[in-house]
Structures are given as C-alpha cells and as structure tokens.
C-alpha cells in the first residue's frame, strides 16, 4: 500500500513537472512571439527615423526661402519696370509712325486733288 501511495505521489509529481515544463515552454513561445512583434515595430520606427534623416536635407529652411524669395521678387519687379519702359517706347514709336503715315496720306491726297484739279482746269481751257 505504501508502494502504491509513493507511486501515486510520483505520478502526481510527474504530471506537475510535465505541466510545469509545458507552462515554461508556453511562456518561452509567448516571449519569442512578443519579441518578434516588438522587433518588427522597432524596425518600422527605425526605418521611419532613417527616412526622416534622409529627407531632412531636402526641406528648405524658412529664412533661406525668405531671402531667396525676396531676391526673386526684387528681380521680378526690376524686370517688370524694364518691360514697362520697353512697351511705352514701342507705343510711342507706333503712335509716331501712325501720325506720320496719316500726314503722308493727307499730303498725297491733297497733292492728288491739286493735280486732278489742275489737269481738269488745263484740259478744259
């Protein structure tokens, strides 16, 4: 009877030991899976950090942008003034030519009128 009691206790102890080992194996698997997930998250964060570091040089700082923009605006204003002067000069030239052509046309008309008048006057005599 004592032997059965010892065997029963041994069997219970063996079952507890097997359960204990299974518990540790399950914890180990859970820790391994958690590490895999955490490593994946950390790798994603590290990739984001690397991307930010790569792109950091691509962005323009506000003060540099303002300085360049100010220079470009000044250059555009100067170009606009130069174009205004050129357009004004061309408009004056066009008005001058138009006036000269109108005067020449009036002169030719008067001259032709006088010639026709003289031709009619001289032929009618």
Q: Report the Cα 73 to chain-centroid distance in Å.
A: 20
CA distances from 123 to 51, 103, 115, 116, 120 (A): 101, 30, 12, 10, 5
Cα–Cα distance for residue pair 95/91, rounded to 1 Å: 6
Task: Tell me the domain boundaries of the chain.
Answer: 1-59, 96-125
pLDDT of the residue at 93:
96
Alpha helices in the chain (DSSP H): 2-56, 62-124
The confidence score (pLDDT) of residue 1 equals 61
Per-residue tens of pLDDT for the chain, all 125 residues: 677 787 888 788 888 888 888 888 989 999 999 999 999 999 999 999 988 888 877 777 888 888 889 999 999 999 999 999 999 999 999 999 999 999 999 999 999 999 999 999 888 87
Q: How many CB atoms lie within 10 A of CB 92?
A: 10
pLDDT of residue 101: 95
Helix (H, G, I), strand (E, B) or coil at 85: helix
- Specify burial of residue 12 (Cβ count, 10 A radius: 0-12, 13-18, 19+): exposed
């Amino acid at each position: 009877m004592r032997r059965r009691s010892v065997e029963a206790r041994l069997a219970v102890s063996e079952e507890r030991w097997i359960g204990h080992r299974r518990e540790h194996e399950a914890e180990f698997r859970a820790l391994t899976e958690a590490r895999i997930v955490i490593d994946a998250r950390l790798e994603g964060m590290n990739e984001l950090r690397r991307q930010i570091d790569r792109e950091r040089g691509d962005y323009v700082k506000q003060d540099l942008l303002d300085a360049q923009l100010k220079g470009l605006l000044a250059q555009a204003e100067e170009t606009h003034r130069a174009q205004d002067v050129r357009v004004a000069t061309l408009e004056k030239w066009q008005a001058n030519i138009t006036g000269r052509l109108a005067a020449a046309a009036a002169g030719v008309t008067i001259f032709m009128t006088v010639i026709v008048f003289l031709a009619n006057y001289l032929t009618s005599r």
